[in-house]
A and B are shown apart, each in its own frame.
Chain A
Amino acid sequence: MNLLLARASARTLLHHPWQLALALLGIAIGVGMVSAVQLTQQSARQAMRYAQTSLAGAATDRIEAVRGRLDETVYVELVRQFPPLALSPVLKGALPVAQPAGGFIELVGLDPLSLLEGEAGAANTLPDPGALIGAPNTALISGALAGQLGLGVGDTLTVKTTDGPQTLSLIGLLPPMPDGGKLVVVDIATAQELLGLPGKLSSIELRLPAADAARWRGQISALLPGSAHLSSIDARLAATEDLTRAFDINLTALSLLALLVGMFLIYNTEAFLILQRQRQFAQLRALGVSTRELLGLLLLEAAMLGGLGSGLGLVLGEGVARVLLKLVAQTINDLYYRTAITEVSHPPLMLGGVWLLGVIATLIAAAPPVLETTKASVRRGLLTREDGAGQRRQYSLLARWGLAAAVLATMLLIWPSRSLIPGFLALFCVMLAGALWLPGVLSTLAGVAVRRVPLARWPALAMGLRLVARHGGRHGLAAAALMAASATAMAMTIMIGSFRVSVSDWLGTLLRADVYISALEPESASATLLERLRERLATVPGVVATSAVSRSRQAMTDGEAQVMAYDLPPAARAGFHILSGDAAALWQAWETADVVMVSEPWAWRHGTQPGAQIVLRGRAGPVVFRVAAVFKDYASERGSIAMSRSTFLKHFEPVPLDGIGLYRDPNMSLATLTGSLRAALADAPVRLHTREEVKTESMAVFDRTFAVTDVLRVVALGVAVIGIVSALLAQQFERLREYGVLRALGFSATEVALVVLSQTAILGLVAASGALPLAGLLAAVLIDVINLRSFGWSMALVVPWGALAHAWLLAMGAALLAGVYPAWCATRAAPAAVMRDE
């Protein structure tokens, strides 16, 4: 590489600091979004993995109760039957702290004498666990909790138990944990005493020899009672990761969209930086610089910009990840499982990958203008004349590519696949088609408007229109970026709005009871609490009927299924929205026959239709259930099987109730009923919610789930605004002479500013208006393809016109705002400079 050429290139970039800053910002924001989402997902995944690994040591498998807790006798029996096996009992629970700081601690009881040895076990990092049995009520505390409570080694911690306050002596600190866990580890006997769970265990951790793990699993499973279940840690990890897979994919897709919009900006800036130097490049080539040397120079320049911008993006991503992590943790807590993610992890390989992605994206975005420049003839470059025919040819080419993208999108959509990848590709192709058609549409519309707006009456507007009509390519790219970002924001608004309406309608139909009661601690020691309460509350004056539901996981021939067992009064049955199957026949056979209905996500995932059969492992062996109907259900994306509670109890071990519903006498007010219910439940560890409260809380969870997409939507729109500022700045530099001539001819500074602003207004108008139909298409793909394939949920497309109008105004506002600085620059163009530059 010729040093002089590189120096000339660097000087040009430094001579245009605004352009350089905007290019770096575009790359940084795009890469920052991808890195933020990746860091967030990685951190969440790491916390999740940590939660699945065992403090008891390097476990390969875990035995847990199907519901509630295991009986200690299971452990004793296993030790007796399989003496060579490495087994370790664990008991976990929460206890309120009696210290002034208050709150809860997570208490973990371990057997220090049977911790599993091995390289991967967290137990290996425990500081002298044997000391826990040396003295009564001794404990190890996590650094995070010790810091929060202001305690250290040698201090005491007082917790509230059912037998009154108990004091623990802190004899050591636990190693730092990625999930920021606030743990206290004690001997298992101490844990059973403190938690009031004598003879109970949360799990038994096992380390099975890798060579014949399957054989061991078979033998152990055969010995386990029906209430216990053995699963491998790896399978659990895979299942947990699978649980949030669709959510992860959607987040990744949004972050890649931010990068895509960022690429528009990079292309735009690169195109300007190159266009501006076309004459210089032509001069260099006239002097003998080869095409290859020029290509190398420009690609090196793009790679350096990409490297620097991506580096900045990683720094930006770190900051955004901290915000996203809180939102994602909340969503995961609301929808999937309890987690305490607090720290952003930094896997170097992932960060390196994202940085490389940024550099590659920059090179791809820079390639078209670079190749065009190196292909152009020297003579043409020296002339640097406008070429209207060339531009028309370009529009025609873009339109053809747009048509190809639209055809590909259609093919991908009609292709019978259940995979998300073709769905996202189709989404991308729809957006690409829109973006490729826009420059031509913009130029054509501006051309039509030129004939309608007389120069004599509105000189500034007429000039603006003519500039857009003649330089549609440059404007078209900025408009395409704005349209892509606006359409995405609008499509997400339509999708989320449709989803919200569907969920709200579903809840409105489903929730038939007036009051709902659920246990404070789902895995309550008292398994029959709600059962007993149901009987008691049924006699409260004003309660005319009750319903009940229990949730459990039951084994199928392949895997597990969530089974909902309902005890429904006739009024509650109308709450189920039957999508397919004969509702009358279903309810007729509901209590007496082995019929089930499956939720829509279940039907989607398993391809189940009414009439199909499902085999579940019952108490006495496999039971065949006939699927009578498919019902609408947004409660779980994994899907569930619903049957009557009487059918459930006929075939399976009883499980505690999860909730009960109470139906009110219409003659009694809700306030009166809840008042008497609260009085009746004064000491019971349960929650009481009215129907409206359940609905409000559910919708609040829904809104929190989509809070993270709001952040990404705003960022994508922000990138587009920067894109327009950059495009208009570039155009302003190119048109400086024209603005100077206008000033020389007598245009005032205000009129020149209007020329610029009228261009951004036209650009905003076309982009925002074009975004509306594009958003409709994207929303249809999101709802009917992406959502269906991700979650198995169908929903009606509902257009929230108010929110769309808001998004349209936002896009228009963004375009106008983007014109302010370039307009100001244009007014500063000294007319005398025109003559001086000759």
Chain B
Amino acid sequence: MRYGSGSLSTGVLEAMDFTAEAGEFVVVLGRSGSGKSTLLNLLGGMDRPLAGTLRIGDDELTAMDEEARARFRRRSIGFVFQAFNLLPTLTVAENLALPLALNQRRERDLVPAMLERLGLHDRAARYPDQLSGGEQQRVAIGRALIHSPPLVLADEPTGNLDADTSQQVLHLFSELVRERGITLVMATHSSEPQALADRVLRLDHGRLVDWV
């Protein structure tokens, strides 16, 4: 699999092959520009490789058109971003409900349960700009997990948080994915998540240099 972006083809990923089991917590380590985010974008079907194939479970992403990849994302992927990226026009409860709505799921109790699990039951009607950074990231994690996708991708989820909040968020994240048997692939350059991870991938200049 090869990936290039823009006219300069920066951030090229070389061929790589790795396996993650269901319910595993995989940490992708590497310096800035090593290709971590690119790998996550490819796994999430948000970018397409220039060459090669990309398969997630039974789905071959490289064979899908844009609409099919959108359907794949809503069904099989959960995203957590460094900048939270909650939708400012939706309340906390609505942000959580959005993936369910997109998947035509009507389980009414899932949102209150998730709010309870996140410790945000008193924040349900608030908008993202009325929450702290840690609270926003907890909502983002809840949104990524609520429809129980097989794969959750997280790109530097603690990059905008202080050390204590980072710890709390990471533990919550780890617990939630394990409870639900969801595979989590987390890109980071911090060492904290390694302690919680089942596997660690190390990238350097787009190459997989280590696989523990």
List residues of A whose CB falls within 8 A of some B CB: 385-388, 454-457, 459, 463, 466-467, 469-471, 737-738, 740-751, 830-832, 834-836, 838
> Using Cβ atoms and an 8 Å threshold, which residues of chain A touch B155?
835, 838
Within 8 A of A (CB), among B71-98: 71-75, 77, 79, 81-83, 85, 87-90, 94, 97-98
* CB–CB B101/A455 < 8 A: yes
User: With A744-B44, A745-B73 given, is the CB distance from A456 to B97 under 8 Å?
Assistant: yes
**Beta-carbon contact of B97 and A388 below 8 Å:** no
**14 residue pairs A–B, Cβ–Cβ below 8 Å:** A385-B129, A386-B129, A456-B100, A467-B89, A471-B89, A741-B85, A743-B46, A744-B46, A744-B79, A745-B98, A746-B103, A750-B67, A835-B81, A835-B155
Contact of A838 with B67 at beta-carbon distance under 8 Å, contacts A742-B87, A745-B99, A746-B74 already known: no
Interface presence of B55 (CB below 8 A): no
* Given A388-B129, A456-B100, also A745-B46 (CB < 8 A): no
Q: Which of B158-189 contact A (CB under 8 A)?
A: 159
Chain B residues lying within 8 Å of A838, measured Cβ to Cβ, are 81-83, 155-156, 159
> Which A residue sits closest to B156, measured CB to CB?
A838
Contact B88 A470 (CB under 8 A): yes
- CA of A467 to CA of B100 in the docked complex: distance in angstroms? 20
New A-B contacts (11) at CB < 8 Å, excluding given A741-B85, A742-B87 = A386-B127, A386-B129, A470-B88, A470-B89, A741-B81, A743-B70, A746-B77, A746-B99, A747-B70, A830-B46, A835-B41
Please, which residues of chain A bring their CB within 8 A of the CB of B85? 737, 740-741, 744, 834
Mark out the residues of chain B between 46 and 85 whose CB falls within 8 Å of any chain A CB in the assembled complex: 46-47, 66-67, 70-75, 77, 79, 81-83, 85
Interface of A is mostly: helix
Cα of A731 to Cα of B87 in the assembled complex, Å: 15
Bound: A732/B44 CA distance, A: 24
Tell me the B residues contacting A by CB distance below 8 Å.
37, 40-41, 44, 46-47, 66-67, 70-75, 77, 79, 81-83, 85, 87-90, 94, 97-104, 106, 127, 129, 143, 155-156, 159
- Which B residues touch A385, using CB under 8 A? 129
Which one, A456, A741, A751, contacts B106 given CB within 8 A?
Answer: A456
Inter-chain CA distance A454–B108, complex, in Å, is 13
CA distance A417 to B141 in the complex (A): 68
Tell me, in angstroms, the Cα distance from A698 to B131 when the chains sit together: 70
Among B71, B73, B77, B89, residue most surrounded by chain A Cβ atoms (within 10 Å): B89
B155 (CB) vs chain A CBs: closest residue: A835
Query: Do residues B67 and A749 form an inter-chain contact, with CB atoms below 8 A?
Result: yes
Least distance between A664 CB and chain B CB atoms (Å) = 73
Q: How near does chain A come to B105, taking the closest CB pair, in angstroms?
A: 8
A746 x B102 contact (CB < 8 A): yes
Residue of B nearest to A749 (CB): B66
B100: nearest chain-A partner, CB-CB: A456
Q: Is the CB–CB distance between A466 and B89 below 8 Å?
A: yes
Task: Kindly state the separation between the CA atoms of A621 and B41 in the bound complex, as whole angstroms.
Answer: 101
A456 to B106 alpha-carbon distance, docked (Å): 8
Q: Which of B37, B102, B156 gathers the greatest number of chain A CB atoms within 10 Å?
A: B102
Determine which residue in B67, B79, B97 has the highest number of CB atoms from chain A within 10 A of its CB, and name it.
B79
Return the 5 tightest CB-CB contacts between A and B, nearest first.
A746-B74, A466-B89, A456-B101, A748-B70, A832-B46
B59 to nearest A CB, angstroms?
14
> Do B101 and A459 have beta carbons less than 8 Å apart?
yes
Which one of A459, A463, A746 contacts B70 once the chains associate, using CB atoms below 8 Å? Answer: A746
CB distance from B84 to the nearest CB of A (A): 10
Interchain Cβ contacts within 8 Å, total number:
103
Q: Is the CB of A746 within 8 A of B71?
A: yes
Residue with the highest number of chain A CB atoms closer than 10 Å, among B37, B77, B88: B88
Least CB distance from A606 to B in Å reads: 62
Chain A residues in 8 Å Cβ range of B129: 385-388
B24 to chain A, nearest CB (A): 22
CA A749 to CA B102, docked complex, whole Å:
14
B87/A738 in contact, CB under 8 A? yes
Give every chain B residue within 8 A of A388 (Cβ-Cβ).
127, 129
Least distance between A223 CB and chain B CB atoms (Å): 86
Chain A CB within 10 A, most for which of B37, B85, B156? B85
Chain A nearest CB from B99 CB (Å) reads 6
CB closest chain-B residue, reference A467:
B89
Residues of B within 8 Å of A471, CB to CB, are 89
Nearest CB of chain B from residue A807's CB, rounded to whole Å: 31
CB <8 Å contact, B89 and A745 = no
Q: Are A834 and B98 in contact (CB under 8 A)?
A: no
| CB atoms of B102 and A459 under 8 A apart | yes
Alpha-carbon separation in the docked complex, A751 to B101 (Å): 13
Point out the residues of chain B lying under 8 angstroms from A746, CB to CB.
70-75, 77, 99, 102-103
Question: Which chain B residue lies CB-closest to A463?
Answer: B89
Contacts of A737 in B (CB 8 A): 85
User: Which residues in B have their C-beta under 8 angstroms from that of A832?
Assistant: 41, 46-47
Q: In the complex, what's the smallest C-beta–C-beta distance from A202 to chain B, in angstroms?
A: 76
Partner pick for B98 among A455, A743, A748, A831, CB 8 A cutoff: A455
A459 to B88, CA, bound (A): 15
User: Complex: how many Å from CA A750 to CA B71?
Assistant: 12
The listed residue (A457, A738, A748) touching B89 by CB distance below 8 A is A738
What are the residues of chain A within 8 A of B103 when measuring CB–CB?
Answer: 746
**Selected contact of A836 from candidates B37, B88, B143, CB within 8 Å:** B37
Most buried by A among B97, B98, B103, B159: B98
Chain A residue contacts of B37, Cβ below 8 A: 835-836
- Known contacts A749-B70, A832-B41; is A738 also within 8 Å of B88 by CB? yes
* Closest Cβ–Cβ distance, residue A832 to chain B (whole Å): 4
A495–chain B nearest beta-carbon distance, Å = 41
A455 to B95, CA, bound (A): 10
Chain B residues whose CB sits within 8 angstroms of the CB of A459 once the complex forms: 98, 101-102
Please give the distance in Å from B174's CB to the nearest CB on chain A.
21
Specify which chain A residues have a CB less than 8 angstroms from the CB of B106 in the assembled complex: 456
Q: Which A-chain residue is minimally distant from B77 (CB atoms)?
A: A746
* B128 closest partner in A (C-beta): A386
A751 to B106: give the CA distance in the assembly, Å. Answer: 20
Task: Check if B79 sits within 8 Å of A745, measured CB to CB.
Answer: yes
Least distance between B141 CB and chain A CB atoms (Å):
14
Query: Chain A contacts of B159 at CB under 8 A?
Result: 838
A748 x B101 contact (CB < 8 A): no
- Contact partners of A830 in chain B: CB under 8 A: 46-47
Given A741-B87, A742-B87, A834-B81, A455 and B70 contact (CB-CB distance below 8 Å): no
Rounded to whole Å, the gap between the CB of B183 and the closest CB of chain A is 18
**C-alpha gap A738/B84 in the complex (Å):** 11
Contacts of B77 in A (CB 8 A): 746
Whether A455 and B97, one on each chain, are in contact in the complex, defined by CB atoms closer than 8 angstroms, is yes
Residues in A neighbouring B83, C-beta threshold 8 A: 838
Complex Cα gap A744–B127 (Å): 20
Neighbouring A residues of B46 by C-beta, 8 Å: 743-744, 830-832, 835
For the complex formed, measure the closest distance between the CB of A450 and the CB atoms of chain B, giving whole angstroms. Answer: 9
Bound CA span A471–B100, Å: 25
Chain B residues with Cβ below 8 Å from A747 are 70, 74, 102
Name the residue of chain A whose CB is nearest to the CB of B106.
A456
Contacts of B67 in A (CB 8 A): 748-750
A737–B87 Cα distance when bound, in Å, is 9
Name the residue among B46, B82, B104 with the largest chain A CB count within 10 angstroms: B46
- Closest residue to B78 on the A side, CB-wise? A745
Closest B residue to A742 by beta carbon equals B87
- A457, A463, A742, A835: the one contacting B40 at CB < 8 Å is A835
Complex-state Cα separation, A751 to B94, whole angstroms: 18
In the complex, the answer to whether B94 meets A455 with C-beta atoms within 8 Å is yes
What is the bound-complex CA distance between A740 and B41, given in angstroms? 12
Give the distance in Å from the alpha carbon of A469 to the alpha carbon of B88 in the complex. Answer: 11
Q: Using A745-B98, A745-B99, A835-B40 as known contacts, say yes or no to A386 and B88 having CB atoms under 8 A apart.
A: yes
